[in-house]
Chain A
Amino acid sequence: MAAPDAEAGVVILGSGLGGYTLAREFRKLDRDTPITIITADGGEAYSKPMLSNAFAQGKDAQTLALKTAAQVAVELCITVLARHRAVRLDRNAKQLVVRQPDGGETQIAYGTLVLALGADPRPYNVEGNDTVRVHSVNDLDDYAAWRDGLAPGGRVLLIGAGLIGSEFANDLAGAGYAVTVVDPAPWPLGRLLPEELGRELAQALTGLGVTLHLGRSIALLAPGGAVLDDGTAIAFDRALSAIGLLPRVSLAAEAGLVVDKGIVVDRLLRSSDPDVFALGDCAQTEAGPLPYVLPLMSQARALAATLTGTPTMLKLPAMPVAVKTPALPMAICPPPPGAMGAWVVTGSNKDRKALFTTADGTALGFALSGTMVAERQALAKEMPALLE
């Protein structure tokens, strides 16, 4: 199966933003080295962050796909094996065992392997979840399945009021769906926002018609209905879970690579095997797992340089995360994990600025809402780098 020169080539597992951005950046530096992308998905180029505000963009699963796998392959002069799933990595032989769309298996050799596998939705475990299809949206196929049969004006039960949950709540409510959100945290984006801004976001979502049950969990799920831990009953047509992601590490772990929360990589994005690299949601740098698009794009650029002969240490400045909640736009630059300090909040109503500040007055992170979002680029320059 493998072409004669493929042994010197680069094989990328995954056709998400990580895999495709790496291929694009690589091709800017090197037109000749063979690149093969193996993906369990359909291989369409699309932007995952757009999945949670597709309605606002006037998009559906079809129009979210910017290019087909074949178009990307021609444009970047690469091979894309869509609907091919890597089932085993044999590092001694430097080859992958890959399941083809017809179910047969084949071996594909690599010179350099890049794992851009992404992450899996965290499973939602609650009594009765075997009686209801709880959707999660983590890729374009998931989004198509979610939108298929979502009747206009239908009632949506959304589990999780984090970043993605809040974005989906805003997008679905804006499109006329009756959205009910359940989250044990006392306000949306509970781990990222101080209370003042969290309450403003809650109010903005409520103003859009979203029903929030915060500080609550689901005790029982049944077809068409959920019961909360305080006894509240919620009727729904479709359920969507957005409770976080787990880096995809099993292929790497089974091959004996060092794995923690994600696939552990050094500053060159190299795993514990010098011929195997990882980036994006499946990878864990010194700065920890960073499941956001800005770090991923920086990783792709650094890795493209490294793989084309210019070893390039990953550097990550402070990178604000844009929260796509048009009801109340936000930008958040989380303080480093474990940082000691407290939020100092200024502004009023929707327009607020929160600085996570140490005892000696140094700002380590921020959260901005409403018109204050305009300050995010300037403020980001003052924040400590994620990786110097």
Chain B
Amino acid sequence: MKKYVCVVCNFVYDPALGMPEDGIAAGTAFEDIPETWSCPDCGVSKADFEPVEG
């Protein structure tokens, strides 16, 4: 599963860790996060994340 990075603030979503504080369990693929989720650091939407290449 790919990590995703916020294009605005560089926050990285790591599916291995999930976001338990947002109710997203460890092991949740980025694609499976609800569309209403937003960046925990800067608040931009899920659409403003890009896959981390490599």
Contacts and interface: CB of A to CB of B under 8 A. Distances in A.
B43 A57 contact: no
A25 B7 CA distance: 13
A47 B9 contact: yes
A49 B43 contact: no
Nearest to A297: B44
Contacts of A319: 43
B44 A293 contact: yes
Nearest to A374: B21
Interface string A374-385: 001100000000
Interface string A44-61: 010101100000010000
A297 B45 contact: yes
A57 B10 contact: yes
Contacts of A45: 7
Contacts of A49: 8-9, 42
A344 interface: no
A293 B47 contact: no
Interface string B1-32: 00000011110000000000000000000000
A66 B7 contact: yes
Contacts of B8: 17, 47, 49-50, 293, 297
Contacts of A50: 8-10
A297 B38 CA distance: 12
Contact of A47 (B7, B38, B43): B7
By Cβ-Cβ distance, the 4 closest A-B pairs, closest first, are A47-B8, A322-B42, A297-B44, A294-B43
